[in-house]
Structure 1
Amino acid sequence: MADNTSSNAYWAANKQIISVCLVIWFVCSFGFGILLRPMLSGIAVGGTDLGFWFAQQGSILVFLGLIFFYAWKMGKVDKEFGVEE
């Protein structure tokens, strides 16, 4: 990866994946758990409303899913740019 253009493309792909993951996490944790909680109060999940569930457990589960998604996607990007382990 000595080529500067290839290096810039690699980091641009990395930043794009990170940005998408952060937006999804923000929407699930802050959006669903705080801002949209009154709208989600009528939907029951596990004996409580969906907004409370996202605030307490949902955002953590989404974060864990995003960790696995990021690792999988970066593995593909690494292979594409020839920097896999």
Structure 2
Amino acid sequence: MAPPGDHRRYWRANLRYLAILLTIWFAVSFGCGILFVEPLNQYRIGGAELGFWFAQQGSIYAFVVLIFVYVYLMNRLDAEFGVGE
């Protein structure tokens, strides 16, 4: 059984990862899709304005990438604390 301090450090690191990744997702979805849509609409991607693209698809792609990043980070964290598979 791991010392009680290790559990706290593990969950603190886990929550830190979640907060950072969700902040990135928020910045991409809300920032690029709503706040900065006008400057981004000056550019086009696949025939659509970039701001519209971020609002419709970009935030979903960013979320999927962040899922893979989270899996990678959690596997490293699990190995560090000896709770991996």
The interval holding the TM-score normalised by the smaller chain is: over 0.9
Q: Could you tell me which residue of structure 2 aligns to residue 64 of structure 1? A: 64
Distance 1:50 1:28 in 2: 12
TM-score by length of 2: 0.96
Residue 25 of structure 1, CA deviation: 0.3
Spell out structure 1 runs of 4+ moving beyond 3 A: none
Q: Could you tell me which residue of structure 2 aligns to residue 8 of structure 1? A: 8
Q: State the Cα deviation string for residues 1-47 of structure 1 (Å, max 9, x = none).
A: 53111111000110010011100100010110011101111011111
Instruction: Answer yes or no: is 1:25 the counterpart of 2:36.
Output: no
Distance 1:58 1:41 in 2: 13
TM-score by length of 1: 0.96
Stretches of structure 1 that go unaligned for 5 or more consecutive residues are none
Number of equivalences:
85
